[in-house]
Amino acid sequence: MTTKRHYIEVRNIQVEVVRKAIKNLHLAVYPPEGRVRVAVPLHVTDENVRLAVITKLGWIKKQQTNFKDQPRQSQREMVSGESHYFMGRRYLLDVVQRHGRHDIAIENNTRMTLYVQPGTSERNKEKVLLEWYRRQLKILIPDLVAKWEPVIGVQVRQWSIKKMKTRWGACNIAAKRIWLNLELAKKPPECLAYILVHEMVHLLERHHNDRFKMLMDRFMPQWRLYREALNQTPLAHEEWYY
């Protein structure tokens, strides 16, 4: 697919313009700073893009304000007493040094104990946590896929987990492959389900159009509430998303 990108300025807002072989214009605002991106068909001029952005200025500024006001975690140092999240629940980290295998244990639904060897660096402690998050998602996702496939009427041939800086999920429609953001391990379970369903519905409808919203309403009537819950949870330091 031919893709061309550059930037224009509209009313003091920098707009990324991406031209590719699509039929309709798609405008999106991304956290954390409210980055504006417009994907347009190859033939659409910058002037038409500018007019489209101007008609949506109120909505764009509202989204940017929402992202600015969203709570954010401070930089994590991986030390005892820090707050970390798993499945929407807040845990206090307890770092325990010991010889043997690195591991993480959830205790009393309030503490997350990180077992590491003496002298483990902050970076490697974070790696242990991220790999633990990945393992937990790998346990949860297969049952979710099996639950939603017959509801939506699609088959997911492959799914994977990866860190993504601009979206919560993605899919390759032709290959029926879905990617889910590793950060979803921190969010409430319904948010994980919402993003999975969102990507599965894209196997029926590529675009975020009225048909897509109608399908989401049919399969997951409360999806807007889950999206709002996702947008209200604390963001990681320096990130984000969908």
Does 163 map to a domain?
yes
pLDDT digits (tens, 9 = 90+) for 157-179: 999 999 887 789 999 999 999 99
**Residues 52 and 90 both lie in one domain:** no
Residue 172 lies in a domain: yes
The answer to whether 142 and 158 are in contact (CB under 8 A) is no
pLDDT at 112 over 90: yes
C-beta contacts of 36-40 below 8 A and 24+ residues apart? 36/60
Answer whether residue 237 is part of any domain.
no
More confident residue, 143 or 23: 143
41 and 132 share one domain: no
Residue 14: how many CA atoms within 13 Å on its side-chain side?
A: 8
Give the separation between CA 196 and CA 190, rounded to whole angstroms. Answer: 10
pLDDT of 194 above 80: yes
All residues at 6 or more sequence positions from 142 whose CB lies less than 8 Å from its CB, including other chains: none
Instruction: Average the pLDDT over 26-35 and give the result.
Output: 81
Amino acid at site 119: G
Tens digit of pLDDT for each residue in 69-93? 665 555 668 899 999 999 999 999 9
Residue 68 predicted with pLDDT over 90? no
Residues 206 and 125 in one domain: yes
Q: Residue 33: inside a domain, yes or no?
A: yes
| Closest by Cα among 116, 138, 118, 142 to 129 | 116
Distance CA 49, CA 19 (A): 11
Whether the ω angle into residue 71 lies within 30 degrees of 0, i.e. cis, is no
Number of domains within the chain: 2
- Show the domain range for 30: 3-69
182 inside domain: yes
Contacts made by residues 161-165, CB under 8 angstroms, sequence distance 24+: 161/134, 161/137, 163/130, 164/241, 165/239, 165/240, 165/241
Predicted confidence (pLDDT) per residue in 4-23, tens digit: 788 999 988 999 999 988 88
How far is Cα 108 from Cα 242, in angstroms, rounded to an integer? 33
Is 240 part of a structural domain of the chain? Answer: no
Average pLDDT estimate for 27-50:
87
> What CATH number does the domain containing 204 carry?
3.30.2010.10
Whether residue 14 is found in the same domain as residue 61: yes
Give the pLDDT score at 70: 62
